[in-house]
Amino acid sequence: MEAWVVATGLIFLYLVATIVLGVVANRRMTVDMEDFLLYGRRAGFVVLYLTVVATFHSAFAFLGSGGFFYTHGIGFWMAGTWTVLVGAITYVLGTRIWALGKAFGYMTPADMLADFYESEAVRIAVAVVSVLFTILYIQVQAQGLGYIINVASGGRISFELGTLVLLIVAAAYLVAGGLRAVYWTDVLQGVWMYLAVWIGAIYLAFELFGGPIELVRAVMAERPDLLTLPGPEGFFTPGMWLGMTLTLSFGIVFQPHMMIRYYTAIDAKTLKLLGATTPIYLITLYIPTALVGLGGAIVMPGLDVPDRIFPELLFAYAPAWMTGLILAGATAAAMSTLDSILHANVTVLTRDVYQRYVATDRTQAHYVAVGRVLVAVLLVVGYVLSVRTFGFLVVLVTLSGSGALQLMPAILGVCFPGRRTLTRAGVLTGIGAGMVTLYLTLVVVPHPWGMHGAVWSLLVNGVLAVAVSGFTRGPSSETVARIHGEVERFVYGSGEAPPAIEGTS
């Protein structure tokens, strides 16, 4: 049987499995916002673990990281720094976000920040940052999906049709089962993508070089420039190392699709175990992609699109069933991120915009129905963004990785009590100035003096947030005592948040 038939067939089977999971999730769902948008705050360790790692690792980790190793060499092994940092952030910060969410009924990042800083302007700014910079990931993931299915079918299924079909499948199971469906399909996707990338890389290493060690020896002999820093093209400078560490740890965690996951944990202990162990999955996924990228640089040098190295090697050297299995894994990697971003945007738009400003006093079923309509709207937006080229999108995609990083001072101000607090004016000034700096240091003059633009923007943001907070009015004593008191009680008290309080956000 030809490789493209097996590859396309396995992807189809995988899509059927996700639809079935969506239908089953629908039967378990109760029609209220917490269940549809937050899994009823009942996510246990296994489900939460696999949804976090599957969401964190997108099509980029599966295909793009191989391309990075192929082009820039071993420097991408720095991925360990940001993945281990994600674990620590989850342990220290994620648990505090969870406790506050449970205590005060927060459902989105904007809920928490607007409550603490007592400002609707903060809510709007955070919601805009959340949606603007993550909606672009829908485009990125959808394009990845279209590309994968186009490659898997040997060009028989067009990029546009592949993108549309996979977007519809993701939207369908999200509409059917809400976040529960997303989590359950993420479990499948998280396991599939991990096994697929390891099996594919090990197979190729033995097939092409006689084993992983022999592969590395071949790289040492033929391309030693790939095994030291800053790499053949000088990409991994110290400033880039620092900036990528910040952007891809804090910058990803503060995106709504990751922060919302903290709210969904069943208890703090689950979240702490998650923080302690997620780096194991996240780091070890980059071992096989390093083998693929470095080995590919020896076997198939000069690719026009380095991100294609994994599928190109598979089609050239692997059996059809394995190629299908692995490309379905790549589909899983992209879809698990895509569905989570779709869901996060639906949550922000339903909660922070519709419920807050359009229809404040409707039934839970009404808001769930609105959420489902928004999935369809975002599906159309995502598709249009994926198949059309807009000039301004190129700029926004460049900024998107570091956009959520601008929420860092504001979030730390809520979750870490101190002698003084930031103010709404300080936070808003910081976010605004951070965004302008980001534009200047990523687009106008990229990475000045070799330092990643994210570092510059965060410096400007933090300094201005503190400076402006020095002479402007902060949150009321009652609010600070209520929220920081809860953090204090959670961290140094019993360690568990109290029962949820309705309607305080």
Partner 1 sequence: MSTPGPVPRSHFFPRTAAGRRATVAFLLLFALCMPPFTHTVWNRIEPTVGGLPFLWVVLLAIYTLLVLVLVRVYRNGI
Window of 30-38, 155-163, 228-236, 253-261 that interacts with partner 1 by CB under 8 A = 228-236
Token pair, residue 118, equals 């007592």
Angle at 118 between CA 113 and CA 119, to 5 degrees: 80
Among 405, 409, 475, 505, binds partner 1 (CB under 8 A): 475
The 3-state DSSP class for residue 503 equals coil
Does residue 229 touch partner 1 according to CB under 8 A?
Answer: yes
Return the sign of the alpha-carbon dihedral for residues 280, 283, 289, 294.
negative
Does residue 74 touch partner 1 according to CB under 8 A?
Answer: yes
Among 109, 146, 279, 311, binds partner 1 (CB under 8 A): 279
Token pair, residue 367, equals 């808001």
Does residue 469 touch partner 1 according to CB under 8 A?
Answer: yes
All residues at 6 or more sequence positions from 439 whose CB lies less than 8 Å from its CB, including other chains: 395, 399
Per CB under 8 A, contacts with partner 1 among 242-261 are 242, 245
Q: What is the DSSP string of 230-298?
A: T-TTS---HHHHHHHHHHTTHHHHTSHHHHHHHHTBS-HHHHHHHHHHHHHHHHHTHHHHHHHHHHHHH
Question: N- to C-terminal Cα distance for the chain?
Answer: 58
Give the H or E element holding residue 102.
helix 95-104
Binding mask 119-158 for partner 1 (x = CB under 8 A): ----------------------------------------
Binding mask 75-94 for partner 1 (x = CB under 8 A): --xx-xx--xx-xx--x---
Nearest CB to partner 1, comparing residues 120 and 488:
488
Cβ 44 to partner 1 shortest distance, Å: 16
| 16 CB neighbour count, 10 Å cutoff | 11
Among 386, 421, 457, 505, binds partner 1 (CB under 8 A): 421
Per CB under 8 A, contacts with partner 1 among 284-343 are 290
How far is it, in rounded angstroms, from Cα 231 to Cα 215? Answer: 18
Asked if residue 49 lies in contact with residue 189, where contact means CB atoms within 8 angstroms, the answer is no
Residue labelled with tokens 């396995």 = 10
Asked if residue 291 lies in contact with residue 205, where contact means CB atoms within 8 angstroms, the answer is yes
Q: What is the DSSP string of 329-353?
A: HHHHHHHHHHHHHHHHHHHHIIIII
Nearest CB to partner 1, comparing residues 30 and 228:
228
Cβ 228 to partner 1 shortest distance, Å: 5
Nearest CB to partner 1, comparing residues 403 and 426:
426
Burial zone of 80 (CB within 10 Å; 0-12 exposed, 13-18 middle, 19+ buried): middle
Does residue 476 touch partner 1 according to CB under 8 A?
Answer: yes
Asked if residue 465 lies in contact with residue 409, where contact means CB atoms within 8 angstroms, the answer is yes
All residues at 6 or more sequence positions from 240 whose CB lies less than 8 Å from its CB, including other chains: 230, 447, 450, 452
Cβ 413 to partner 1 shortest distance, Å: 9
Nearest CB to partner 1, comparing residues 345 and 469:
469
Q: How many residues bind partner 1 (CB under 8 A)?
A: 60
Among 426, 430, 434, 453, binds partner 1 (CB under 8 A): 426
Binding mask 365-404 for partner 1 (x = CB under 8 A): ----------------------------------------
Cβ 146 to partner 1 shortest distance, Å: 34
Give the H or E element holding residue 122.
helix 120-152
Cβ 270 to partner 1 shortest distance, Å: 11
Cβ 294 to partner 1 shortest distance, Å: 10
Among 362, 470, 496, 498, binds partner 1 (CB under 8 A): 470
How far is it, in rounded angstroms, from Cα 294 to Cα 296? Answer: 5
How far is it, in rounded angstroms, from Cα 292 to Cα 295? Answer: 5
Token pair, residue 117, equals 């800083």
Does residue 451 touch partner 1 according to CB under 8 A?
Answer: no
Does residue 472 touch partner 1 according to CB under 8 A?
Answer: yes
Among 255, 323, 402, 423, binds partner 1 (CB under 8 A): 423
Cβ 267 to partner 1 shortest distance, Å: 13
Nearest CB to partner 1, comparing residues 358 and 481:
481
Binding residues (CB under 8 A) for partner 1: these are: 74, 77-78, 80-81, 84-85, 87-88, 91, 213, 216-217, 220, 224, 227-230, 237-238, 241-242, 245, 272-273, 275-277, 279-280, 283, 290, 415-423, 426, 466, 469-470, 472-477, 480-481, 484-485, 487-488, 491-492
